[in-house]
Amino acid sequence: MAETTVEPLPDPPATTGFRGRVEEFLRSNCPPVGERIDAGHERVDAARAFQSALASAGLAGLTYPTRFGGAGLTRAHQEEFDEVSRGWSLPTFPLAISHGMCLPMLNQFGTDDQKARFMPANISGRAIWCQMFSEPGAGSDVASLATRAVRDGDEWVVNGQKVWTSGAHYCDYGIIVARTDPTLPKHQGLSMFIVDMHDPCIEVRPLRQISGDSGFNEVFFTDLRIPADWLLGELEQGWSLATAMLMFERVSIGAGGGSFAVDRSPALITLAQETGQAHDPGLRQRLADLWIREQIRRYIGSRIRAAVAADRVPGPEGSIAKLHGAILARTARDVSMSIAGTAAQAWDACDVAGARWATACLGASGASIA
């Protein structure tokens, strides 16, 4: 059998003084992990304010070009920022899709005019974006979607419905996939567009979940007119672009950046010590396993960021990151529940990592199917 070789990671360039800048900013703008109640819940105003402060400090969009609102720094700077921020409760969850999926798509496939128009506001938090693929009749088989976009002069006219759209009720812009040529096979007649979520021809209806939350939405398009130059990428290339966008999603969830960067093991070790469980050999083994998985996530993320920095859309490594991230979420959930005991079932009880125990427990399995 042929021997498999793994390309070593290049040594990152020096980031002298950068860690200190990040630490100083975080001390002034957000509390450490464990001091924010319900840190995982959507706090849109807090997210916008935090991201604005981050941009003012030159710490937003670290690896994106300065001419498009980024900081123009290196992958090493991003990795150092992620490393430092793991000990803090960044209120950035409402920006997860905007920054983890939509921003990379704009950077990778947008025209220079689109980048100049849309990226700065996205990076600074002034504009939050959502992604709209799924429809009532097109969930796992997204290519069966029925939303239509018809060319009319210098505009596209969109009619249809999307569902399960995260955050649509607070977003400013969105990226949709619509059918532009119904005569082509279903995977070939799709195109991707940018839409203004404040347009009166778009109706957003929040979906109430059993938990009482309304994070998902139905979105209806009725004769929505969008400029022809808001086509993202090439016409009829929507399927390949959608695949790329899903890879960016897997990267953002699995590689441990932004909202998903918090390491649970340090706080759980502290809790085990405080509750007299630290000498339990079985628990010690599970905590060690959790810590190891967190380090693996870090190395996977480093490789993926290297690919993105080289202007390459993540391939299978994105799926590997997503799979590992789902396993890591369940592992952290199980260890947390074991240490907390019956207290973990209290709906309003907060854990040491700043989230509600029961909410975190229910949400951990979602990463396996999302």
Out of 249, 274, 294, 317, the active site residue is: 249
Separation between Cα atoms, residue 92 and residue 82, nearest integer Å:
13
Give the amino acid at 139. Answer: G
Separation between Cα atoms, residue 66 and residue 186, nearest integer Å:
39
Is 249 part of the annotated catalytic residue set?
A: yes
Tokens read off for 186:
């279903």
Strand extents, DSSP E, 215-353: 216-227, 231-232
Cβ neighbours of residue 336 closer than 8 Å, sequence gap 6 or more: 264, 268, 344, 351, 353, 357, 360, 361
Q: Which of 65, 43, 170 is nearest to 120 (CA)?
A: 65
Cβ neighbours of residue 171 closer than 8 Å, sequence gap 6 or more: 98, 128, 129, 130, 197
Q: Which of 25, 40, 73, 65 is nearest to 355 (CA)?
A: 40
Just list the catalytic residues. Answer: 249
